[in-house]
Chains A and B, each alone.
Chain A
């Protein structure tokens, strides 16, 4: 069920009605049934459900086992408080921790294993095949890749790691845990939620409340506006531009900007819908974006774009690697042998490299995604290394606080990020380098005036809509950037009026129905 399909909207309306009609105690079980129904409709063979239930069961038992270890440990330490020495306590705690570590490891290997096998087997086969003769090539395996597996696997792993770390207890009700893993709005493309963030609102009894409904609806409509009016309209031009290498030179520049606009509207639009749906149900989800195109450097960009993924990688990969035994040893060794200046960077950059490699791999089982991840690492690393130079520059030229310099930094970041993202477009590493190269070597500004851009599958009317939509999105974003919010809660008349206008705009100018292909959200593939 596409979020943009009539079926999904009917499903959602029915679910929301039932949600507020059933006894409050039955709300979360109803959500679980709804989530499983949603997932079942995504694959009526039931295989997707089997995968997600397997993941849930493994996390449930791992969590319960760790709970038991914790309970046993607390009871033992309490009972022997007087008799145990400090060293004994330490040794006992270490023993218990290693037990929990073993449980965690088994659970992580199991779930990451499922993710790896389903998503990466053919990638591995293809890479092995490059070294084999035609006769001995391995056959790709027809693999089921459950929708949103990367999202729910990471979410579940985050949950179990947090139980291990003692951030929260394991959920003792398997059905409640099942809801956390499968909560339907985030199955399509995240966000990757933390149990501690969701727990409070997910299982709570919710009363029908005007602000939840109106604010949820606003987010949903805003998301549909971005997805249906912009992303699903501009996609035709992007597809035309990237599927034919004849569109080189300045066309690549156009493709780059169009794709940046499409991806932004597609992904943030999808997340707006997700958060809006959750809000209507009284559930609070973490924001996944914070005006990413207002970032002044790549580091800031990654703090504003796909936030839940970024923090997941930081908390569950970067930090554990940085403080791991081998890394600390390496850090010590490099400081001794390479000097403080370089030595202190080695472990940080190596951890960062691993994170970006994994981030790339998480996005897709292909080299273009891995190179995309590594390119991000390279740019961030260079930016960091150039920081002293920037400081010198800003010391000499007092431009940092000038508005125009801020705009320059924003444009530079958008340009850089969009260029790196071309690996996602062409999906072929050498081709991406080649095509992006032509952007600088085959400049042809004529295409902006000779009507060439009208041959990309979108009409003059579409361009008008895209420009108007761009102005609307930019205005709303600027208001949010400057004030921190868009609507004042008291101004309900303004909110409802704008909601009505938004609804009409989506209905009339949305790229849906006959003549348009319904497109799944881009991040659904990850």
Chain B
């Protein structure tokens, strides 16, 4: 009987190992085309703390160059961004981040407040799968799941990705153990240019009130930052599409006033920032390219330095060394992307 128990226990162990390996292999690696799925996970590799943390959707991770902020102002920053990151996801990612460090400033892009309910499973996975397990992740899953999703699929992602066995690529095997870094402290670099074109006219809405669920998470972010002594800055990135209705803007202005927060709508500041949307965007105006992101970072970095007691870490040897390596990687990627474009 004892022998039988040992045999069964060994088999169960082997089974768990095989399933864990299969799960690892079958989960998307997000290393080539859709790299956004790697962003959340990358944060945990950071060795040093950050004084500025951005949270939000593509309007933060594609529009702010953390390396420019470092290079010009010595600001240490990280973007915990992900595709279509919803307000509750931003909150739980902030909560998760604050378990590891306490920045001086948190910057939240308000565009996602237009969504009051869970949207797409694919984006949920990109925002959540990379998070380390904690109550923040559990609550994030609960708040984000669409009707067709199951909590268990997040606990055991193999249940979600099992059908990828027929789509496995070279990168799935290459990155079985380790993944390449795809961002620069959360910044997603694109050097290509596609000038801004005309956008469709905004559709009138039945109700312009920002949803109570989304706004409740803004309340939570505000409270959390207040509790931790962090300055919360609300921004609306300077890109004009998806359309940001004046009625929404008014509500955020009022919210910021009521809660003593800073809110900057950057759409009317395009000229002041120096953006030229014929060269500063890579996808016809939806997001900024490297050139646009660097201009915006120069502008916003000055605002941060002028208004908050940030440290210039360029004088700190440890930081200088780590960020020096980060910068090398930054410039290397610029060259590679340019070479690819020219080639």
A509 touches B11 (CB 8 A): no
Min distance, Cβ A12 to any Cβ of chain B, angstroms: 14
Contact A509 B165 (CB under 8 A): yes
CB proximity of B9 to chain A, nearest CB, Å = 10
Contact yes or no, B152 A508, CB < 8 A: no
Interface centre among B14, B153, B162 (most CB of A within 10 A): B162
B101 to chain A, nearest CB (A): 34
Bound-state CA distance A210–B4 (Å) is: 11
Q: Residues of A contacting B19 with CB < 8 Å?
A: 504, 507
B 124-162 binary contact with A (CB < 8 Å = 1; else 0): 000000000000000000000000101011000011101
Residues from 434 to 463 in A contacting B, C-beta threshold 8 Å: 459, 461-462
Find A513's partner among B8, B18, B22, B160 (CB 8 Å cutoff).
B160
Verify B162–A509 contact, CB threshold 8 A: yes
Q: Contact: B158 with A508, CB < 8 Å?
A: yes
Q: How far is the CA of A298 from the CA of B192 in the complex (A)?
A: 70
Q: Are B22 and A508 in contact (CB under 8 A)?
A: yes
- Count contacts on A: residues with CB < 8 A to the other chain: 22
* CB within 8 Å of A: which B159-193 residues: 159-160, 162-163, 165-166
Instruction: Give Cα distance in the complex from A512 to B153, angstroms.
Output: 11
**Residues B1-37 near A (CB distance < 8 A):** 4, 7-8, 11-12, 14-15, 18-19, 22, 26
The docked-state distance in angstroms from the alpha carbon of A508 to that of B18 is 11
Bitwise interface map of A from 1 to 44 toward B, beta carbon under 8 Å scored 1, else 0: 00000100000000000000000000000000000000000000
Contact partner of A510 among B121, B152, B162, CB < 8 A? B162
- The answer to whether A514 and B160 touch (CB under 8 A), given A6-B150, A496-B7, A496-B8, is yes
Query: When chains A and B are docked, how far (Å) is the Cα of A365 from the Cα of B166?
Result: 41
What is the CB-to-nearest-CB distance from A214 to chain B, in angstroms, rounded to a whole number?
Answer: 9
A-side contacts of B148, CB under 8 Å: 514
A468-526 contacts to B, CB under 8 A, are 492-493, 496-497, 500, 503-504, 507-516
Contact call A459/B166, Cβ cutoff below 8 A = yes
Whether B11 contacts A496 by the Cβ 8 Å rule is yes
Q: Residue-by-residue, is B57-92 near A (CB-CB < 8 Å gives 1, otherwise 0)?
A: 000000000000000000000000000000000000
Knowing A496-B7, A508-B26, say if A513 contacts B15 (CB, 8 Å).
Answer: no
Residues of A close to B7: CB separation below 8 A:
492-493, 496
Residues of A within 8 Å of B160, CB to CB, are 513-514
Q: Which of B11, B158, B159 contacts A497 (CB 8 A)?
A: B11
What's the nearest-Cβ distance from chain A to residue B28, in Å? Answer: 13
Contacts of B152 in A (CB 8 A): 6
Contacts of A461 in B (CB 8 A): 165-166
* Complex-state Cα separation, A513 to B158, whole angstroms: 10
In the complex, what residue of chain B is closest to A510 when comparing beta carbons?
Answer: B162
Are B11 and A507 closer than 8 Å at their CB atoms? no
- Chain A residues positioned under 8 Å from B11 (CB to CB): 496-497, 500
B162's closest neighbor in chain A, by CB?
Answer: A508
**B18 to A504, Cβ gap below 8 A?**
yes
Query: Cα distance A176–B175 when bound, in Å?
Result: 58
When distances are taken between beta carbons in the complex, the residues of chain A under 8 Å from B14 are 500
A232 to chain B, nearest CB (A): 12
Q: How far is the CA of A503 from the CA of B166 in the complex (A)?
A: 19
Complex Cα gap A510–B22 (Å): 14
Choose among B15, B158, B159, B163 the residue that contacts A515 (Cβ–Cβ < 8 A). B163
Q: How far is the CA of A516 from the CA of B121 in the complex (A)?
A: 14
| A493, closest chain B residue (CB) | B7
Complex CA distance for A492 and B4, rounded to whole angstroms: 8
Least CB distance, B230 to chain A, in whole angstroms? 37
A514 and B148 CA atoms in complex are apart in Å by 8
Point out the residues of chain A lying under 8 angstroms from B26, CB to CB.
Answer: 508
Interface centre among A462, A497, A512, A514 (most CB of B within 10 A): A514
Q: Which residues of A contact B15 (CB under 8 A)?
A: 500, 503-504
Within the complex, the shortest CB–CB distance from B105 to chain A, in Å, comes to: 38
- State A370–B4 Cα separation when bound (angstroms): 53
- Measured CA separation A513–B18 after assembly (Å): 20
Q: How far is the CA of A514 from the CA of B159 in the complex (A)?
A: 9
Whether A513 contacts B166 by the Cβ 8 Å rule is: no
CA distance A380 to B152 in the complex (A): 50
Question: Considering the chains assembled together, what is the distance between the CA atoms of A493 and B3 in angstroms?
Answer: 11
> Are A513 and B159 within 8 A (Cβ)?
yes
A92 to B124, CA, bound (A): 77
Which chain B residue lies CB-closest to A210? Answer: B4
Chain B residues with CB under 8 Å of A492's CB are 4, 7
A513 touches B4 (CB 8 A): no
Closest 4 CB pairs of A and B: A461-B166, A500-B15, A6-B152, A508-B162
A residues whose Cβ falls under 8 Å from a Cβ of B: 6, 210, 459, 461-462, 492-493, 496-497, 500, 503-504, 507-516
Q: Can you report 7 A-B residue pairs in the complex whose CB atoms are below 8 A from each other?
A: A461-B165, A461-B166, A492-B7, A508-B165, A509-B162, A510-B162, A513-B153
